[in-house]
C-alpha cells in the first residue's frame, strides 16, 4: 500500500488572505450586475466583529487563555446565522470570510437570515470532555452580548456538535433565566433539535448533485464518486451517493485518504474509523494523500474538508466532471477560472452545502413555535428548496454566461442589496 500524507493545514499566510478571497468573489459578482460603489462598500465589510480572550481552568488546575471570535456580516435580511468552529487555524480573517459566505448562503436559498460565524483557536482533540465544556461555556458567556433567538443563532461547524450546542443553549438560558431552545440549532432532538439536521448538509448536497446531473446528462447510477473529508457532511454525502448507485472509490480525513477503484464498503470504512480514529490503513484499500485524492479519475468530486484545497496548482489535474462543494471555500478564485475553462461543472459551497443552514432554519422555526416536524416533512421541504435554488442559480448562469459560483453570488447579492436599500441607513 502507498504511504499516506497529512492533509495540509492552512498556513498563516494563506489563512490571512481568506477574507480577501471572499471580497474578491463579491467584486466579481458585483461587476456582473453593475452594483454601485456605495453598496459594494457596505457589503464588503462585516457589521460586527467581536474578539474575546478568555481563561479556562484545565483538569490539572492550570489556567490557559484561548482566543475566540463572533462575527456578524449583514443583518439586513433578519437575525444572523452561522456555525461555531473549534480549530487551530481559526483567526479573524477566516471567521469574517465565513460570515460573509453565510450571508450569501442564506440569501441564495431565500432564508430570512443574515450571515455570521464564530470560532475558537484550539485543537479540541487535546482537551478532555470537562475542559471542552468549560471552554464552551466560557466562550458562550463572552459572546452572549451578541447571540440570541432573534439576534444571532449559532450552530455546529468544524469540530463542534450537538452536545456543544446543548452547552451553548444551557449557558445562554442560565443567563436569561429561562430555557431558550431557539438560541442555537443543531441541538439534540430531546432539547428541541430537528429531525434530519445531522444529515442535512450531506443530503442537501446530494439533492443539488441530482439536479445538476439531470442538466449534464450524467447517470449517477453509473458514476464514480470521490469524497475529500469523511466527517459529517462527507460521510453522509458518500453514503447517499452510494444509495443512488454511484461507486464511491475514495474518501479521506485529516490523516490521509484511501482508494479502491472497485469501490469502498462504506459501512466497513465507518467501522474502521470508529475503531482507529481514521480511515487510513483500511485493509481493503490503498492509502493515498489528500492531494492525490483530489486528482483521481471520477465523475463526481465532493470536497468536504477545509478551505483552499483546490488551487491554481491542482485545478488543471482534476479529472472530475462535477464538483460539489460540501465544504466552505475549498476552491480559490484562480482555480474557479481554470475549472470553468476546462468545462468542469462546479456546484459552489453557498449552494451545495446550504442544506445544513436550511434545516437549521427549520429547527429555529420549530423551536420558536414549539411544534416539531416529521423527518418526511423536513426532507420534502429541503428537497423543494434545494431544487428551486439550483434551478434559479443555473438560470442565472445561463442568462449571464457565467460559472455557477458567480451566478450563486449574483443571486444572493442582488437579494441582500435590495433588502439593504429598502431598509436604508439609520440614522
| Residues involved in catalysis | 117
270: which 3 cell numbers?
465507518
Residue 74 C-alpha cell reads as 449583514
- Asked whether the beta carbons of 329 and 354 are under 8 A apart, the reply is no
**Does an H or E element contain 347, and which?**
strand 345-347
Helix (H, G, I), strand (E, B) or coil at 52: strand
For residue 155, count CB atoms less than 10 angstroms from its CB and return exposed for 0-12, middle for 13-18, buried for 19 or more: buried
Provide the strand spans (E) within 378-424: none
Which residues, other chains included, contact 153 with Cβ-Cβ below 8 Å and sequence gap of 6+? 79, 80, 81, 113, 147, 182, 183, 184, 185, 360, 364
In terms of DSSP H, where are the helices of 319-374?
333-341, 349-352, 355-369
Q: What pairing do the DSSP bridges indicate for beta strands 322-324 and 300-303?
A: parallel
Q: Using DSSP, state whether 226 is helix, strand or coil.
A: strand
* Long-range residue pairs from 146-150, CB within 8 A, at least 24 positions apart, any chain: 146/48, 146/50, 146/70, 146/72, 147/70, 147/172, 147/183, 148/79, 148/172, 148/180, 148/183, 149/79, 149/180, 149/182, 149/183, 149/364, 149/367, 149/368, 150/79
User: Contact 396/407 with Cβ under 8 angstroms?
Assistant: yes
Chain-centroid distance, C-alpha 187: 17
Q: Of 290, 296, 242, which Cα lies nearest the Cα of 269? A: 242
CA dist., res. 139 & res. 68, Å (int): 7
DSSP assignment string, 71-103: EEEE-SSSSEEEEEEEETT--HHHHHHHHHHHH
Amino acid at each position: 500500500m502507498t504511504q499516506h500524507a497529512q492533509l495540509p493545514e492552512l498556513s498563516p499566510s494563506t489563512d490571512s488572505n481568506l477574507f480577501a478571497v471572499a471580497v474578491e468573489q463579491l467584486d466579481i459578482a458585483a461587476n456582473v450586475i453593475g452594483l454601485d460603489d456605495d453598496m459594494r462598500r457596505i457589503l464588503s465589510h462585516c457589521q460586527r466583529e467581536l474578539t474575546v480572550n478568555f481563561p479556562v481552568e484545565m483538569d490539572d488546575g492550570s489556567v490557559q487563555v484561548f482566543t475566540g471570535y463572533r462575527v456578524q456580516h449583514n443583518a439586513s435580511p433578519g437575525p444572523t446565522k452561522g456555525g461555531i468552529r473549534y480549530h487551530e487555524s481559526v483567526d479573524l480573517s477566516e471567521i469574517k470570510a465565513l460570515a460573509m459566505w453565510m450571508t450569501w448562503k442564506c440569501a441564495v436559498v431565500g432564508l430570512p437570515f443574515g450571515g455570521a460565524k464564530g470560532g475558537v483557536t484550539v485543537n479540541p482533540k487535546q482537551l478532555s470532555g470537562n475542559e471542552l465544556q468549560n471552554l464552551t461555556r466560557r466562550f458562550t458567556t463572552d459572546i452572549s452580548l451578541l447571540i440570541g433567538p432573534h439576534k444571532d443563532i449559532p450552530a455546529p461547524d468544524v469540530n463542534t456538535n450537538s452536545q456543544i450546542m446543548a452547552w451553548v443553549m444551557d449557558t445562554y438560558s442560565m443567563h436569561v433565566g429561562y430555557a431558550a431552545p431557539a438560541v442555537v440549532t443543531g441541538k439534540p432532538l430531546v432539547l428541541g433539535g430537528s429531525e434530519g439536521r445531522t444529515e442535512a448538509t450531506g443530503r442537501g448536497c446530494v439533492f443539488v448533485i441530482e439536479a445538476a446531473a439531470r442538466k449534464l446528462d450524467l447517470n449517477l447510477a453509473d458514476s464514480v464518486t470521490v469524497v475529500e473529508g469523511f466527517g459529517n457532511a462527507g460521510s453522509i454525502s458518500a453514503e447517499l451517493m452510494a444509495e443512488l448507485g454511484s461507486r464511491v472509490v475514495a474518501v479521506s480525513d485529516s490523516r490521509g485518504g484511501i482508494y479502491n477503484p472497485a469501490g469502498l464498503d462504506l459501512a466497513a470504512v465507518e467501522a474502521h474509523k470508529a475503531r482507529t480514529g481514521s480511515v487510513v490503513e483500511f485493509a481493503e484499500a490503498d492509502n493515498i494523500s489528500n492531494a492525490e485524492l483530489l486528482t483521481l479519475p471520477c465523475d463526481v468530486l465532493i470536497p468536504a474538508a477545509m478551505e483552499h484545497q483546490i488551487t491554481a496548482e491542482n485545478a488543471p489535474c482534476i479529472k472530475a466532471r462535477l464538483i460539489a462543494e460540501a465544504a466552505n471555500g475549498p476552491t480559490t478564485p484562480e482555480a474557479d477560472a481554470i475549472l470553468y475553462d476546462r468545462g468542469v461543472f462546479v456546484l459552489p459551497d453557498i449552494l451545495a452545502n446550504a442544506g445544513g443552514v436550511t434545516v437549521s432554519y427549520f429547527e429555529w422555526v420549530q423551536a420558536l413555535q414549539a411544534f416539531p416536524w416529521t423527518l418526511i416533512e423536513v426532507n420534502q421541504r429541503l428537497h423543494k428548496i434545494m431544487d428551486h435554488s439550483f434551478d434559479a442559480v443555473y438560470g442565472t448562469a445561463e442568462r449571464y454566461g457565467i460559472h455557477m459560483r458567480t451566478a450563486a453570488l449574483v443571486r444572493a447579492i442582488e437579494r441582500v442589496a435590495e433588502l439593504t436599500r429598502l431598509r436604508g441607513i439609520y440614522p
